[in-house]
Amino acid sequence: MTKSALKGRRILVVEDEYMLADELRTQLSDAGAVVLGPVPSVEQAIALIRQLDKIDWAILDINLGGEFAYPVADLLMDRNTPFVFSTGYVDAALPPRFADIPRCEKPINVDAVAQALG
């Protein structure tokens, strides 16, 4: 799966580092995706998810300003929304319930996201 698979997809971006979020937004938009967000916090992500009827995929930073994004991941799982965790940590210790969730190392490569979610 390549960037062409992103065309028209509604992708939620949850990332607290402005430069990374902006770069990811630009890359996804250039690939034809509809970018939802980016949002920088657990609270804002949950609020946005609850407002939206449709999210095709999500990219979720594990650590949002020192707060783990697991409540956001749980909500996405409850809604059957595929997502990837993005992280700068090589060996992120995830709770067992997230063992099958794909991880993409930062900086995020849009092709890797498309492949992980495909």
pLDDT digits (tens, 9 = 90+) for 27-62: 999 999 999 999 999 999 999 999 999 999 999 999
Quick one: 28 exposed, middle or buried, by C-beta within 10 A (0-12, 13-18, 19+)? buried
Tell me how far the alpha carbon of residue 88 is from its chain's centroid: 14
Please give the share of the chain, as a percent, with pLDDT higher than 70: 92
Is pLDDT at 23 greater than 70 in this prediction? yes
pTM of this prediction?
0.91
User: Are the C-beta atoms of 64 and 41 separated by less than 8 Å?
Assistant: yes
Domains, the chain, ordered by start: 3-117 (3.40.50.2300)
Quote the CA–CA distance of 96 and 34 in Å, as a whole number: 31
What is the SS3 assignment for 71-95? HHHHHHHHCCCCEEEEECCCCCCCC
Per residue in 64-115, pLDDT (tens digit) is 999 999 999 999 999 999 999 998 665 557 888 998 898 888 878 888 777 8
Q: How confident is the model at residue 1 (pLDDT cuts 50, 70, 90)?
A: very low
